[in-house]
A and B are shown apart, each in its own frame.
Chain A
Amino acid sequence: MVISPVHYIAVPLLAAFLMPLLAKIHRELTRIVPGLVILYLGYVSVVLMNQVMAHGTIVEVIAGWNAPWGINLVYSPFTGFLASMMTAMAFVIWLYSYRFKKVDSQPALKYFILFMMLVTGTIGIVLTGDIFNFFVFLEITAISSYSLTAFYRDRDGAEAAFKYLLIGSFASAFILIAILLLYTQVGTLNMAQIAVRMHDVPTHMKITILILFLVGLGIEAEMFPLNGWAPDAYSQAPSPVGVTFAALVVKAGVYGLIRIIFTLFDVHGAYEYLIVMGAITLVMAELAAIRQKSLKRMLAYSSIGQMGVVMIAFGIGTNEAVFGAIFLMFNHAVIKGLLFMSGSYLVYNTPNKEIQYLSGYGMKMPLISLFFSLGALAIVGLPPFAGFWSKLYILIAAADNQMIGLIALILGVSIVEIVYYFRVVGRLYFGKPSKGSIMQKPTYGGVIAMSLLAIVILVVGFYPDVITPYIHNAADALLDKAQYIHSVLPNADLSQIQNLK
């Protein structure tokens, strides 16, 4: 069988719909099959990434309709890197949720079906080369996210999910109108052809469409005024789902923003807009995080803040800054994954998941506390952990562009970050242990998952060279718009294409 990018979408989608039948054969199959599917996707990632690094972008035409008529999947070093990262994180999340909590046979079936749909949707968003197909995958992701947020009946999940759904429906309405206006202007839905024809669209129209897209995608990417759903969804959803939001859903949203600004549009000022919105997002989120009493809400706000830094770095737009941004996306997925996984065991039995009850847990749950502390050290960017390198590259890129204010901002906010993370870590190790708290023993799958993430943080921290070649290629692929268009439409006229940065 030939390995192709379409397996990323077809296999998990097929598995999701076969799961009810498999559950009839044997109950345990509902838990095992998702793991096998994700392992297969991991194999696909390895094969395709080697192919892409050697021969360049792979374009998969679906159902024999060539671009620009049919739907195509673009597996470039950038999209491939993101898809592989999502697959790896999906595997870790599967390990973590294998025996998580009270998932007995029936909910486990529902949980894993929705999880497979979520994986399909997020990877689909990243790989597709068609703007309407992009919208469809966004909706697949959104609908499974709503359902997973409301997974537990005994929490306020339904309320968080309804809030998320309300905001998400606005997002999809905005994106639909944007696609509609775009179609009236360029008469095509293929992203590469839109990029070619964008030159002839009047500027006021371009800006209208761009703003509609930015509002719609800003909601998924947790951009500042549009991220009201995130803290509630993160805190009410089951913990593995919180990890999925941080590692997959938000990454897909940011990818959408970046693809639309970098490839589709050539509007001056969009990059500055990203910097300003990123900075506001960063400051507001970190200031909110320091006031949180609940650990999960704190982690959610911290996650929003990190996305702000990613947006700033993409907004700077030089090769080095984009490199730093993609590196930070990777680091954030891994580190925030570890923080959510360990943090949710720490607050497992505390009322309202509040931080103040965590005193002295460092001695009672040594392994989990160690994982949490490692994550906290890594995410604030202390050497020699993974988070240090991405922050360093972003700061160097800002310095090269004489953006001293941004450097001051990022470093100043880092202090806030250190304060609220070390408030928790300090309480874990130096707080007075309270009596009567019940410890939750983590599952074996959970321990393996957290160990894997901790190993990745340490390995990338000490030897960043294991991952940097892939990220360098990803940054080059994202910035080279002409190459993207050429690989999809070999005969396109590239004379009008200019890279703004």
Chain B
Amino acid sequence: MDTIDYYQIMSIGVYGSAIGLILIGLYAVLMKKHLTKIVIGLSIIDAGINLLFIAIGYISNGTAPIYSSQGIDLVKTGTPMVDPVPQALVLTAIVIGFGVTAVALSLVIRLYRHHNTARIDQIKSLKW
């Protein structure tokens, strides 16, 4: 092979880091005992999934999916547009993730005030 396929390398990198993020998040949620760390883990999982969404919508050398004269010219000359749908979905997913994180953190504060600890193995009023 005389030329290096940068697109190939990049896509492996992006998919790999997305899955890596999901796994790191899972590790944090399942293994960490501190409530805040668990919430951070949840956010990392969200970030990984969002990155995965963006990655599947990307086309090699694609242009931004904006309906403008410049964009149309690019498409006419054979440059493909990347898929706009996953980008729209990610925008929504980010907002939802933000909402969930906010609720989760407020619950952590409530739990801390109630039990005077934020470690999950010391909060045992209910069965886990």
B107: chain A residues at CB < 8 Å are: 146, 150, 158, 161-162, 165
Task: Give chain B's interface secondary structure class.
Answer: helix
Let me know if A483 is at the binding interface, CB within 8 A: no
CB–CB A136/B111 < 8 A: no
Least CB distance from A52 to B in Å reads: 30
CB–CB B86/A183 < 8 A: yes
Cα(A297)–Cα(B32), bound, Å = 29
B53: chain A residues at CB < 8 Å are: 176, 180
CB–CB A173/B45 < 8 A: yes
CB–CB A146/B89 < 8 A: no
Query: Given contacts A143-B103, A146-B103, could you give 7 more A-B pairs where the C-beta distance is less than 8 Å?
Result: A132-B92, A143-B100, A156-B125, A158-B114, A159-B126, A165-B103, A176-B93
Let me know if A160 is at the binding interface, CB within 8 A: yes
Cα(A158)–Cα(B92), bound, Å = 27
Q: Which residue of B lies closest to A177 (CB)?
A: B49
Q: Which residue of A lies closest to B35 (CB)?
A: A162
Least CB distance from B121 to A in Å reads: 13
Interface string of A172-207 (1 = CB under 8 A from B): 110011011001100001000000000000000000
CB–CB A159/B123 < 8 A: yes
A170: chain B residues at CB < 8 Å are: 29
Q: Which residue of B lies closest to A188 (CB)?
A: B85
Q: Which residue of B lies closest to A233 (CB)?
A: B126
Least CB distance from B49 to A in Å reads: 5
A173: chain B residues at CB < 8 Å are: 22, 45-46, 49
Name 13 interchain pairs, CB-CB below 8 A, sorted by A: A136-B96, A139-B100, A142-B100, A150-B107, A159-B125, A162-B35, A162-B108, A165-B100, A172-B96, A173-B46, A180-B56, A184-B56, A236-B126
A162-B108, A180-B52, A180-B53 known; A189 and B126 CB under 8 Å?
no
CB–CB A147/B125 < 8 A: no
A160: chain B residues at CB < 8 Å are: 126
Interface string of B108-128 (1 = CB under 8 A from A): 101100100000000101111
B92: chain A residues at CB < 8 Å are: 132, 136
Cα(A139)–Cα(B45), bound, Å = 16
Interface string of A145-169 (1 = CB under 8 A from B): 0110010010010111111011001
Let me know if B104 is at the binding interface, CB within 8 A: yes
Let me know if B82 is at the binding interface, CB within 8 A: no
Q: Which residue of A lies closest to B112 (CB)?
A: A158
Let me know if B38 is at the binding interface, CB within 8 A: yes
A163: chain B residues at CB < 8 Å are: 126, 128
Cα(A156)–Cα(B49), bound, Å = 32
- From A142, A163, A176, A236, name the one whose CB has the most chain B CB atoms within 10 angstroms: A176
Q: Which of B79-103 contact A (CB under 8 A)?
A: 85-86, 89, 92-93, 96, 99-100, 103
Task: Give chain A's interface secondary structure class.
Answer: helix
Cα(A484)–Cα(B17), bound, Å = 40
Q: Which of A240-287 contact B (CB under 8 A)?
A: none
Least CB distance from B52 to A in Å reads: 6
B45: chain A residues at CB < 8 Å are: 169, 173
CB-CB nearest 9 A-B residue pairs: A158-B110, A156-B125, A139-B96, A162-B107, A232-B126, A169-B42, A158-B111, A176-B49, A158-B107
CB–CB A189/B85 < 8 A: yes
CB–CB B103/A166 < 8 A: no
Least CB distance from B72 to A in Å reads: 19
B86: chain A residues at CB < 8 Å are: 180, 183
Cα(A147)–Cα(B127), bound, Å = 20
A165: chain B residues at CB < 8 Å are: 100, 103-104, 107
Least CB distance from A250 to B in Å reads: 20
B85: chain A residues at CB < 8 Å are: 183, 189
B100: chain A residues at CB < 8 Å are: 139, 142-143, 165, 169, 172
B38: chain A residues at CB < 8 Å are: 166
Least CB distance from B47 to A in Å reads: 11
B35: chain A residues at CB < 8 Å are: 162
Q: Which of B49-89 contact A (CB under 8 A)?
A: 49, 52-53, 56, 85-86, 89
B123: chain A residues at CB < 8 Å are: 159
Q: Which of A103-151 contact B (CB under 8 A)?
A: 132, 136, 139, 142-143, 146-147, 150
**Which residue of the partner chain, among B49, B99, B128, contacts A180 with CB atoms under 8 Å?**
B49
